[in-house]
Every structure is written in structure tokens, then in C-alpha cells.
Structure 1
Amino acid sequence: MHLRPAGPDDAPALARLSGEFGYSEEVAPLRERLFALLRQADQTLWLAEEDGEVLGWMNARINHQLESPPHAEITGLVVTAQRRSQGIGAALVAQAEHWARERGLGELRVRSRLERTLAHAFYRRQGYAELKSQRCFGKAL
């Protein structure tokens, strides 16, 4: 297994893996979002790959907020169900940490849905501590 930056041709694999977490598997809209992310210097997107098969992906960004110093945040992390608990997620998190350190950031955060208790345990094993609980609100515009 090796890690590599994602590229435009990876959209189908990214969509397939996103579908494992209940997100849309439509390639065209994901490809558009992928193109936009790849052009942003404050974003990174890495793949875990083995024998040409994408096993997981990680997206992180620099989060700028008025009330606190800049920090990195993992905005997406997916490992295919058949390959979980084999170090792939840990390698992707380590890549995000490396990326953040290279940019002089002193903290990496990640958000995880309340019902994803296995993900919570994973992040704790990686050395992350729960900072707070919150609700997310949205409104269609």
C-alpha cells in the first residue's frame, strides 16, 4: 500500500468510496468538486492505493477563523470496508498531520458524526481527544 496525491482521473474511485458512507456515487458532480479542491493551496487530498486499486482517501484543509488561530482539519476520510483496521486510515491521518506540520500549523482537528462510534474509537487510538459536541444546522438556498 502506498499514498499518493489525488488527481482529476481519480473521481470514479473517490465517488465509489464515498458511496460506502452513504454519500452520492455520482461521478460528474464529484469530479467538479475535485477539480475545485485540487486548485486550492489550502486543501490536500491523498489516496491510499494498492496494485492500482484505491483503498481510501483523505481530504484536509486549513481552517481560518476569526476567533482562533489557523489549524488543519480533516474534512473527509474513507477506507473501503473490506480493508479497514489494516493501517490504511492511520497512514492517511499521518499524512494529514505531516501536511499540517509542513504549513506551520499546530493542531489538526477532525469532526465525526455522533453515530460513527467506530470512527470515534479510531481517532482516539490515533491520539485525538474529543474537544466538544455540537449540532450542525443547514438551510437550502
Structure 2
Amino acid sequence: MSVLRTDPAGPVQGRRHRLRLQEATMGIVGVALSMSLDGLITGPDPGETQPPGALFARDRNVHLMGGASTVDQAPRLGLVDELNLHIEPVLPGAGARLLADIGGPVTLERTSVGEGPRSTHVRYRVPR
């Protein structure tokens, strides 16, 4: 399994932060603060030892966790086959809409629903 963490709570003021990949017992763990998936898709900057583009090229699961600007990019690029929503009983009243610009409606197939003490977890399959 791979985990990619993106988007801090607030904007990064246009700065791109390098993705750090570490081999671990569970596969690749990536940690990044970025507003763009460009480097992960297109490949490395010159001189990188681990090409960021290799994260999606490997035959592994990649978990993309982040804010609306990053999460919106993956479906448009055809990189999502499963969507996990974690719903909390809080309405923030402001902020960016999640999945607001994915290029049109997408019909999802619900595969599971779980309930925790403070949240509901819904898993969907995204058709290709």
C-alpha cells in the first residue's frame, strides 16, 4: 500500500514541496505538501533519486489524502478507481468544494458503509 498525503489545511502560497518517498514494510509511503499532482504524474525533476512519477506507475495501491484542490485533480487524470469518504457531523460553512471540477457527473458504485463513534465511512468504486 502507498500513502500520499497532500494539501495542508491552508494554501501553500504557490510553493511546491518535494515528495519524499520511503520504502517501508507496507510498500512506498509518500509524504508531500503540494497543490499539484504534476510531479507525481510526469516524473522527476533532474537529479532526483526516486522519480515521483513512479508512484503511480508501480503496481501498488496509492491512497491520496488531501484537500479539495489536490483530490479534484486525480479523477480528471483517470487515476481514481476507488473513493473513500469520511463524513463528520460538522458543517464548516466555508472552504473549497470537494470534487467540484471533475469534468461532469460520474456514477459511483457503493461497495461499503461503516460507522464510527463520530463519523460515517462510505467506500465507492469509480467506473473507468
- Taking structure 1 as the reference length, the TM-score comes to 0.33
Structure 2-normalised TM-score? 0.35
User: Comparing both structures, which one devotes a greater share of its residues to helix?
Assistant: 1
